[in-house]
Amino acid sequence: MTRKKSRSPWLYKAKRAKEDERGISLLEVIIAMSIFGIAAIVLLQGFVSAGKINKKSQDYLIASELAENVMEEVKSKSLEKVSLAFNYPIDLQKDGKSRFHFLEGRESEINAQGGVTIRELIKNNSKEFQAVRKYRQGVVNEEQVTSSILSKDEGKTWEFVPKTTGEERSKYYFELKNVTEKNETYDILVQFDGGQSSGYKKEENNSLADDEKNDFLAPNIEQLDTKENAFLIMEQNWDREAVQSQMLDRQQEYAVKRWEYDKHVYESQTPTPTVPFEDVYGERPTGLSYDEVWSHTKRKLVVSVSEDKGVVKAIAHYYLDASEYSDGTKYGSMDLYKSDPNGQTDMDFSKLESLPITFFSTEVGKSLKNIYIFYYPNYDVLDEGILDSIVFENKQNLPINLYVVKQQTVRQVGNREVTVPSRQEEEQYKMDMTILETPSLNNYNNWFVNSGLFKANTILLTNLDQDISTSNVDGRAQLRQMTLRFSDANTNRSLLGSGAEKILRLNGLDDKELKDRIYEIKVKVYRAGASEKNYEGVKPIVTWESSKDN
């Protein structure tokens, strides 16, 4: 009997081993290589991603370090010194050292070919950044300078010129371009915003909220002391009693005498006149209307300051001139005496000058810092030219801030009261403002030659040229109400308009530009090239924000 042999397990393994010794098939090689390729690609992508992340982190760290350095610099300086550093980054008074501490030792790179460009920027009408114009003798004169620093000697001596008007009021822009740090290059944009857009103002949905720092339009009287601040508050009717007794009563007395005399002559020449005298020349004069005459009266307020033996005094007096008023009748004019052949100037009741009144006096050794003049403009008659005039005499060139405040009032119309002025009245109102000083006392004999560099000791702050018919601060339009004049009390030479505005550093009542103003600061760090694109559509690597009370 033949037995069937079984296959031993170990014999099967041995056979397989012999078969395996033959090598690896092509298919197996392809499959293996594919698996390795996929794994290698995934691994390589991981390395690349990690590299990108590390590069981005490095960029962020360097940019953050730069932003921190710049922020520390600008917060440690006043706005004036910040502007000086960006306009004249090399301090020629200190052996050519950088005004930026984090750039010390790299002075040779500053504003050099291929180096760091440091400058101030402004926005043009298209809202694009452009470099400011700095003074250059024979190229850019004082009137053409758009920089916030005016210097004729590369920053050795300088003057800060604040932005006080327009949409860009209290907004400043600075740039550090092509800053290289750790082999990377960046552009840095610095923004100072002290305008209402900075956010430091009254909440719009809370009408009862207190005005914040960048929101007020008038001085806060409650916070001012009377030791260094003088107040002159003119009533709506400056001196009604004097006007009535010295002008109107005298006019009526004279008019009655003239009327009686003319009637006597008329009736004596014609014993039985067919037309009564009254029908020809009117009834016996009963006096002119105070309100009518006052509305047509030219008013000139003169305020003067002087110092004597350590005491500073502020004195006021006024001139009134109603000589051009007439009610249209023969005896109803304020210059009636002129038609009298025997009339004398001492009979002139159309003009009135008050006695000087000292309304403020300091203690010995104390200074007068601010003068506040509050007055009601004449909105009643706007078609007769300029009727209001204010003259400030500071012949000793005392350093003083002069605040001139026009005020609202009410007018009775029928049974209701109407707030004055209206928008139309504000647009039509005109007045004269004259400031007198004596520049020669400070050796400015030729101040008018380079008037752009000359500054008066009086600083004018006013809400004239602003529309106060609306309580909406943001909606107040800029107007042309003042004929502003700076005059030399010694030579009578005068400068008007924008020239006078610059000399007097004309500003609003808040005077927010250099004091009691909060600036929002932003330091934005970009990769190099953002400046060439005007920073439009370019995202900064990092933005640091802070605020500064200047």
pLDDT for res 95:
84
pLDDT greater at residue 174 or residue 8:
174
Q: For residue 155, give the 3-state DSSP assignment.
A: coil
Q: Mind spelling out the 3-state secondary structure of 376-442?
A: CCCCCCCCCCCCEEEEEECCCCCCEEEEEEECCEEEEECCEEEEECCHHHHHHCCEEEEEEECHHHH
Beta strands in 241-324 (DSSP E): 298-308, 311-321
> Given a cut of 50, is residue 325 above it in pLDDT?
yes
* Nearest residue to 481 via CA among 381, 375, 388: 388
pLDDT for res 430:
93
| Assigned domain for 384 exists | no
Residue count of the chain, please give it: 550
Lowest pLDDT segment from 57-66, 208-217, 356-365: 208-217
pLDDT, tens only, 228-263: 899 999 988 888 899 999 999 999 999 999 999 999
| Assigned domain for 142 exists | yes
> Given a cut of 60, is residue 68 above it in pLDDT?
yes
> Given a cut of 90, is residue 353 above it in pLDDT?
yes
The pLDDT mean for the chain works out to 83
pLDDT for res 167:
74
pLDDT greater at residue 27 or residue 170:
170
Q: For residue 327, give the 3-state DSSP assignment.
A: coil
> Given a cut of 50, is residue 15 above it in pLDDT?
no
Cross-strand partners of 21: none
Q: What is the mean pLDDT of residues 297-311?
A: 95
Proportion of the chain above pLDDT 70, given as a percent: 80
pLDDT for res 169:
80
pLDDT band at 303 (very low <50, low <70, confident <90, very high): very high
pLDDT, tens only, 368-378: 999 999 999 99
| Assigned domain for 90 exists | yes
pLDDT band at 14 (very low <50, low <70, confident <90, very high): very low
pLDDT for res 125:
82
| Assigned domain for 130 exists | yes
* Number of structural domains in the chain: 1
Q: What is the mean pLDDT of residues 112-138?
A: 92
> Given a cut of 50, is residue 321 above it in pLDDT?
yes
pLDDT, tens only, 88-122: 999 998 889 999 988 999 999 999 998 999 999 99
**Which phi and psi (to 5°) does residue 151 adopt?**
-145, 140
| Assigned domain for 168 exists | yes
Domain span including residue 146? 72-214+519-549
Tokens representing residue 281 in the block: 């020349």
Place of tokens 């706005």: 79
pLDDT, tens only, 428-484: 999 999 999 999 998 888 888 877 778 899 999 998 988 888 665 555 677 889 999
pTM tops 0.75: no
| Assigned domain for 314 exists | no
| Assigned domain for 370 exists | no
User: Cα–Cα distance between 57 and 311 in angstroms, integer?
Assistant: 66
- Residue 54, Cβ neighbours under 10 Å: how many? 10
| Assigned domain for 170 exists | yes
